[in-house]
Each structure stands twice: as structure tokens, then as C-alpha cells.
Chains A and B, each alone.
Chain A
Amino acid sequence: MKGFVRRRLLWVGLLVAATVSVVSVFPVWAGATTRAAYLTGWLLFGLMVLLTGYNWFKKIPYLPLGRSELWLQFHIYAGLFTGVLFFLHVGGRWPTGWFELGLTILYAIVMASGVLGIFISRGWPKRLTARSGEVPFERIPVIRRELRERAEALALSTVPEAKSATVAEFYLRRVHDFFGGPRHFFSHLFEIRLPLNALQNDFTDLKRFLNERERQVAEQLVALVRQKDSLDYQHALQLTLRLWLFIHIPITYSLMLWAIAHIVLVYGFSAGAR
């Protein structure tokens, strides 16, 4: 059995064991005390603090606190386990009142963005690698500018050389904007090739009106268009691989603040304050 499969089975096993234990013990607690919700609440909060700690852990890599890989595994499975605790804590009912609703929505966003994060972190690197054209994210604007400059120079070169403005006009009308910035973001995310194919088809149509020299230039422009499309692909996927964290982390902190307020309110307005 491969290492990754073995690891997944181990963590899933732990998650199932923890879930079964808590779910089977909870009715006993609930029967024995009226304060079972306090227990699940504190368990849930404690776990959320640990999960938030992962972000802090990343900021102090020089402390010998173990491997990030292990922490992430814990983060994922403990994160999923909070779902079980959350369900038990709210007693399986829909929240009442705007405060509880806010708390639930924040929790749902954090959970959903986390699950989305796992999904894209596992699947998208393979897509990026298969498509080739690997490029560091911060280099993308520089490369895009270089491509645009080369494309513009090529398109303009046909005017004096072929004594015709057909390619230059086509460039202005159909291609100029394409090179202007990242394009077809969602098409790339969902692996839809329609925009690229449409542009390539327009080039094919154009070739009927071109002489030999212009045709050569058009071929070179198509090659640049493909390179730019690959770059947009890298941009779209790499950006999303970073962007989901911009939802997951700030909402996590909001959730924590909301949860603290929730605890204060619960203790302030109940007998538990004593």
C-alpha cells in the first residue's frame, strides 16, 4: 500500500473512531447532565483555537514544532470533526435569532472554504503540471508584458513588409485586448477551451485573405496566443489556489471573535456564569 493511501486510511480511521465515540457517549452525557452543550461547546472552541493556531505555526518556521504536513493533516481531519461537534452542540436544529444565525453562517463559510481548499489543493497541482508552462506566480505579469510586446511588434511588422494592414487591423480588433491582461478566468478554472478555439478559428478564417508573409506572421501570432493562453491558465489556477485562503483565514478570525462573544453572552445570561 502506498504511503499516502496508508496515511489517509489512518486519519479517516481516527476521525471515524472519534465520531463514533462522541456520538455514542453524547446521549449518556445529555441524560446525566443538563449542561452537555457546555461540554461540546468548549470542546468545539478548543479545537477551533488549535485549528486557528495552524496559521500562527506557519509564521514561526524556526521553532521546532514538527512538520507542517502533519499539522495540515491534523487541521483537515480535526476541522471535519468540528462538524460533528457543531451538530451535537446545536442539537441538530436550525439556529434561532440573528446572533446564532451569524455564527452558523460564518462556521459554514469556514468549513466550505476549507473543503474547497482541500479539493483544489489535491487536484489542481496535477492540472498545472499536466498543462506545462510552469511559471512562478509573481513572474506572470512580466511574461505577459513581454508576450504582448512581441505580439504587437509582429502585427505591426506586416504593414511595411507586406504593405497591407490586414493583420494589424485584425490584431487591434480581435487580439489586442486578449494580450492586455489575464483573460478567460472561469473558462480556465473549468477547463473550457472555447475562447481559445474561437480565437484560433478567427485566425484560420483570416488566413484566406493573407499573402505568404502575412500568413507566416499570423502563424507566429497564433503561437504567441497559445503561450498567453497557457499563462492565463497558470494565472487562473495559481491565483485561486491562493485566493481561497483569503476567504478561509479572515472568516476564521471573525468566527473566533463571534464565538468568544457567544461564550461571554452564554455565561453572562445563564447560570453557568457562576
Chain B
Amino acid sequence: MDTVHFVIDKPQRWDSSFDPEMSEGAVNRLLGIRPFSEMDVTKFSKRTPLRGILKNDTRIRRFKNGEIIVRAGDYGSSAYLVLSGHARVVLNPGLPASMLGRRKSQRKGLFEIVAQLWTNPRDPEVRTQAELVQDTGVKARSSTKGAGVFLQDVPRILDEHKTAMMSAGDFFGEIAALSRTTRTATIFAVGNETELLEIRWQGLRDLLRFDDHLRHHIDRIYRERTLATHLREIPIFKKLNDEQLKRVIEQTQFGTYGDYDWSGDYKRLAKEGRHTPEKETIIAQEGDYPNGVVLIRSGFARLSQKFGHGHRTLNYLGAGCEFGLREIAHNWRQRTDAVPFQQTLRVIGYTHVIVVPTPVMEEVVLPTVPEGDLPALFTPGELAETEISDTTRKLDAGAKIGPELMEFLTENRYFNGTSSMVIDLERCTRCDDCVRACATTNEGNPRFLRHGQISGRIMVANSCMHCADPVCLIGCPTGAIHRGQVGGEVLVNQATCIGCSICSNNCPYEAIRMVEIREEDGAFMVDKDMKPIVKATKCDKCSDQIGGPACERSCPHGALKRMDMNNLDAFARWLHR
């Protein structure tokens, strides 16, 4: 007799639980604790019940005294709920970089630069004692249970820095997790009994979707703490007084589009030989009524315009860019002659946006903007598509670098690079001077491959691009991979890197290599189990060298350039040099 199986349609993301060891007992315990005990389970969908979320998207973590839970400046994809014990948040000014398991930017002095003539080791990947010594204020430890960074002198920190206590029931880290922005403060455990519930962002997103209370709570925090600061930085909102800003903040909507884990998705597609997912979600569509100004807070969006029967990419917009302001400002001044959105905005991978609705713009914001600061009106010629305005021309990077190159950069997500290595193949003699220079400057091994995707005469080499959205930073257990304080470059602190490969697996551009390191006499370093010590290595933009990137300086033919792909004007100038 056939047995009938009831197959539960398990959502894909639960194929791999956040913590496979999360027990039913632990879930039952969580269901009895606020805020979960107050949630209405009937409001959750059948595919993602509250119990399922707690079982698959959360894990319980215990922290020891002084252990850092989140670090200011890190990217994280989880939020935390204090279950028991205490944690302290360090208020402004935060802890110095050396206390967070990072290195202060250390540019070599002239003597050290010259001394490299005789101090550079003969063997590759040699690490000196000085490089591996951890800063005295902090210690990175790894064990079978995971790795962590510990503050060494908690009483002194409490003495010297302003901190605030967090106790059972307090929630933190949700804004950075949802908006993919950096953590704004460092939080560390106090006492050895700190127990936290870590909720990965997918779970957090669903909790917000089905629980009004939590959504309102986070909504309020976001508006109070983040929106005000963010809006104040945008020129058009600068003239608002506190009362007006409050009104704008109340009416502002925000949303996250696309997949937070776009990099994993992109990596998969790239392996299959495709780059663009079939469908890119539309945020705002050409021809539609402009219902609000879209401000991009993180991630990227594609700006396109109808062209013949298809769409032509004009540019891509990243954090800090706006969409729709010109249309709304035009309609506000020319009420009888309203125009719809003139372009389409689509999500590439992942985008977090803020939308200021048109009525608020018209009633509160635009009246405060001096006439001269408003965007130009659309001319009849522009609307009839017989002429192109300066504003559109400026925006239309596709016209400057060519549509194929534009598509190539967009499809491969190269706009993410603030310092991408581009090579002009019509000038590159394939001499490898750049590779040798990189190896000589960096422990005997080049930090990039002079190979990569090609479009026409342009190659984007496999080198760290020092991304605007550095996904390699997500999940580093010790914070060893971090942004430098001066140039924003992404660096690995060799002292606190525990060789776990999380960053290397996360990087969608294959820019991080794990290497076995050596002692100064050339012997491989091993741990107490005689296993080789492995460290993450990548291009550090030669941030410790006075002259800047050695690869670029050493190219005899000016074929190699480090370029900010968010500045396509500079790229176009270099192309047509």
C-alpha cells in the first residue's frame, strides 16, 4: 500500500538554518519571552510561522565579559535581543580603532620605505612579529565555538568612555541590518552571563512584516535616529527648520528592494555564465505620476530610459543619489503642464530607499529651496524628445562611455568599485610590470590577477575594487577585515585575521586569497596542532606606501588605472584620453 506523505513546502532560505542546533525547547522558551510572547501568531503566514522564524532565523549566543558584540563601522546582517545579562553601548566618541581589533592606518615613513630595499624578505608571505602582535587593548580568540574580540581592560573603558547599559528585552542592531549601513556604535558584553538572541536579517524582515508592534517600534527608531541625520545631509533639505523636518520625517516612507544577499545570487549567476537576473524590480517607472522623490540610502539602482522598443541604461545611482526631484519641482512650478517620471529606476541586486511623498515635497520642502537651487524646468523640446538638456546629458553616462560598456559595468556590478583596476588592452603590452610591482611591494605575492572580464578594449582585472557596498565585511567574526580610516580602502588586519575564509567566500569578485604564512626564516607558521596558519590577503591599495598603488605607478604604458566607477565622467575622460 502506498504511504501518503504530507510534504511541507519549506521556503528555500530555511534549507540552511541560522543555527542547526537550535532546539524546540529553546524556541518554546523564546515564545514565552517579550516581544515574542506578545506577538499574534495568527498574523504570520503559514509558510513563515513565528515558530519557524525563531527556529530557523535565530540563534542564541553567549558572550563573556568584555567581548565585543557589534563594532562601530562594521557591516552586519543581524539584529540582537538581550535575553539575560547585560551589554554596554559605547556612546560618542567611540572606542579608538586599535581597541576594536583594527589597525590604525599605518603609512610607512620615508626611511621605512627606503629600508624595504634591504628588509623585504626573500620568501613570499612572510609575517613579522610586529605584524602579528595584537594591539594591547584587544585580543582576538578563536575556538571550536567561534571567534571573538575581547576588550582587555573593561573597567578602564567604563571609566574613560561614556556608555549606556542594555538589559533583558533591549533590542539593537536592527537599523544597520535592515538598511545595510554600518553599525553606529560598539556594544560589548558586561559580566560572563550575557545571553543574546541573534536574528538574521531575513527573520527580522518577516517579523516586521507580520508584527505591527515591532514594525512600529523599529519604524520609530529609524525615523528618530537615522532619518533626521540623513535628511540633514541632503542639500535640498538643508533649509528646513526643526518643525518642518519633523513633518517631512513623519511622512517619509522607506523600503528595501531586491535581495540582501545579492552577492551570493550574483556569484551563482556568474558561475552559470549569466550576470543579470531575469527581472529587476522597478522602483519608479517612466511615464508614471511622480508620487515622491526617491533617495537612495544604500545599494544601487539602474537609471534607464525608453529607447526604440527597449530600454537604454543611462547611469546607475548609488547611495546619496536622488530620483524624481526634477519632475516634482517642475510640476510644482508649472501646475498646468505636469510631467510624469522621465526615466525608470530599477533595483540592481539590493537597494534601500527613502521616499519623500510629493505632497510633502510641495507643501514643506520646495518652498524653502531658493529658486536658483531648484532643478531646471523641462523644455518643450525635451518633452518632445527633440532635444537633450544639460541635466540629462550630465546624467547620461551611457552616451559618454558607450552603451555596451555601460551594460558591461552594470551587468557585472562593477559600479560597486570605488577603486576598480581597469586596463586599457589597446595600450597594455602584457609585460606584467604591474604584477611584479605588486608582488615586490606586498610580501612577494601579487594581490591581483591581471585577468578578468573584458568588454571591447577594457578589462576589469580581478583585484579588490574597495567596494561601496563591501559584502566581504559581512560576517567577519573578529572584524579583521575593515575599512581604513583615511581612504575608505578595505583592509585585513593580519593580527586578528583567524583565517576562517568567510570574507573570501563572500566577495563576489574573487578578490581575496587565503595564503599560508611564513616566519622570517622562511618556514611555514603552524599552530599547536601543526596545522598551517592561514590569513586572508587582498589588495590594500598600497595604503602603507607613500607613492600610492604600485601597480598603477609601475605601468610603463599608462594602461592601468584605479578608477572610481561611481565617477563615470572621469572614466569617460580616461577612455578618450
Binding site for B on A (CB under 8 A): 2-4, 58-69, 71-72, 120-121, 124-126, 128-129, 134, 136-137, 238, 241-242
- A124-B425 Cα distance, complex, nearest whole Å: 10
Contacts of B553 in A (CB 8 A): 61, 66-68
Interface string of B80-113 (1 = CB under 8 A from A): 0000000000000000000000000000000001
- A175-B13 Cα distance, complex, nearest whole Å: 52
- A129-B457 Cα distance, complex, nearest whole Å: 6
- A238-B428 Cα distance, complex, nearest whole Å: 11
User: Is B441 located at the chain interface by the 8 A CB criterion?
Assistant: yes
Q: How far is the CB of B406 from chain A (nearest CB, A)?
A: 19
- Cross-chain pairs A/B with CB under 8 angstroms, 28 sampled: A3-B577, A4-B577, A58-B433, A58-B437, A59-B440, A61-B436, A61-B550, A62-B440, A63-B113, A63-B114, A63-B116, A63-B117, A63-B547, A67-B553, A67-B558, A68-B556, A69-B555, A69-B556, A71-B556, A72-B556, A125-B426, A125-B559, A134-B451, A136-B430, A136-B449, A136-B450, A136-B451, A137-B430
- A238-B432 Cα distance, complex, nearest whole Å: 11
Whether B429 and A241, one on each chain, are in contact in the complex, defined by CB atoms closer than 8 angstroms, is: yes
Q: How many residues of B contact A (CB 8 A)?
A: 37
Among A62, A65, A67, which residue has the most Cβ atoms of chain B within 10 A? A62
Q: Which of B114, B440, B459, B557 contacts A61 (CB 8 A)?
A: B440
Q: How far is the CB of A92 from chain B (nearest CB, A)?
A: 33
Q: Which of B426, B552, B558 contacts A129 (CB 8 A)?
A: B426
Q: Which of A62, A68, A242 contacts B555 (CB 8 A)?
A: A68
Q: How far is the CB of B429 from chain A (nearest CB, A)?
A: 5
Whether A61 and B441, one on each chain, are in contact in the complex, defined by CB atoms closer than 8 angstroms, is: yes
Known: A67-B558, A125-B427, A137-B432. 19 other contacts (CB 8 A): A3-B577, A62-B113, A62-B116, A62-B441, A63-B114, A68-B433, A68-B553, A68-B554, A68-B556, A69-B556, A72-B557, A120-B429, A124-B429, A125-B430, A125-B559, A129-B426, A136-B450, A137-B430, A242-B430
Closest B residue to A4 by beta carbon equals B577
- A187-B450 Cα distance, complex, nearest whole Å: 27
Contacts of B547 in A (CB 8 A): 62-65
- A244-B60 Cα distance, complex, nearest whole Å: 65
Contacts of B426 in A (CB 8 A): 125-126, 129
Closest B residue to A65 by beta carbon equals B547
Whether A64 and B428, one on each chain, are in contact in the complex, defined by CB atoms closer than 8 angstroms, is: no
- A120-B429 Cα distance, complex, nearest whole Å: 9
Closest B residue to A132 by beta carbon equals B454
Interface string of B554-570 (1 = CB under 8 A from A): 11111100000000000
Contacts of A125 in B (CB 8 A): 425-430, 557, 559
Interface residues of B in 421-445 (CB under 8 A from A): 425-433, 436-437, 440-441
Q: How far is the CB of B71 from chain A (nearest CB, A)?
A: 31
Q: Which of B441, B546, B576 contacts A2 (CB 8 A)?
A: B576
Whether A121 and B554, one on each chain, are in contact in the complex, defined by CB atoms closer than 8 angstroms, is: no
Closest B residue to A67 by beta carbon equals B553
- A66-B555 Cα distance, complex, nearest whole Å: 11
Contacts of A59 in B (CB 8 A): 440
Q: Which 7 A-B pairs have the closest CB atoms?
A: A61-B437, A64-B547, A3-B577, A72-B556, A129-B425, A69-B558, A61-B550
Closest A residue to B117 by beta carbon equals A60
Closest B residue to A134 by beta carbon equals B454
In the complex where A2-B577, A125-B428 touch, is A64 in contact with B440 (Cβ < 8 A)?
A: no
Whether A64 and B430, one on each chain, are in contact in the complex, defined by CB atoms closer than 8 angstroms, is: no
User: Secondary structure at chain A's binding surface: helix, strand, loop or mixed?
Assistant: helix
Whether B557 and A64, one on each chain, are in contact in the complex, defined by CB atoms closer than 8 angstroms, is: no
Binding site for A on B (CB under 8 A): 113-114, 116-117, 425-433, 436-437, 440-441, 449-451, 454, 457, 459, 545-547, 550, 552-559, 576-577
- A126-B425 Cα distance, complex, nearest whole Å: 7
Closest A residue to B435 by beta carbon equals A136
Q: How far is the CB of B296 from chain A (nearest CB, A)?
A: 33
Contacts of B430 in A (CB 8 A): 125, 128, 136-137, 238, 241-242
Q: How far is the CB of A120 from chain B (nearest CB, A)?
A: 8
- A121-B116 Cα distance, complex, nearest whole Å: 31
Closest B residue to A76 by beta carbon equals B556
- A112-B451 Cα distance, complex, nearest whole Å: 32
Whether A69 and B437, one on each chain, are in contact in the complex, defined by CB atoms closer than 8 angstroms, is: no
Q: How far is the CB of A236 from chain B (nearest CB, A)?
A: 12
Contacts of B554 in A (CB 8 A): 58, 61, 68
Q: How far is the CB of A32 from chain B (nearest CB, A)?
A: 40
Whether A62 and B429, one on each chain, are in contact in the complex, defined by CB atoms closer than 8 angstroms, is: no
- A63-B454 Cα distance, complex, nearest whole Å: 31
Among A58, A61, A67, A121, which residue has the most Cβ atoms of chain B within 10 A? A61
Q: How far is the CB of B575 from chain A (nearest CB, A)?
A: 11
- A66-B547 Cα distance, complex, nearest whole Å: 8
Q: How far is the CB of B88 from chain A (nearest CB, A)?
A: 43
Contacts of A66 in B (CB 8 A): 553
- A204-B295 Cα distance, complex, nearest whole Å: 62
Q: How far is the CB of B572 from chain A (nearest CB, A)?
A: 13
Contacts of A65 in B (CB 8 A): 547
Closest A residue to B451 by beta carbon equals A136
Contacts of A238 in B (CB 8 A): 430
- A63-B547 Cα distance, complex, nearest whole Å: 7
Whether B454 and A62, one on each chain, are in contact in the complex, defined by CB atoms closer than 8 angstroms, is: no
Contacts of A121 in B (CB 8 A): 429, 557
Contacts of A120 in B (CB 8 A): 429
Q: How far is the CB of A113 from chain B (nearest CB, A)?
A: 15
- A136-B114 Cα distance, complex, nearest whole Å: 32
Contacts of B577 in A (CB 8 A): 2-4
- A238-B555 Cα distance, complex, nearest whole Å: 16
Contacts of A58 in B (CB 8 A): 433, 436-437, 554
Contacts of B114 in A (CB 8 A): 63
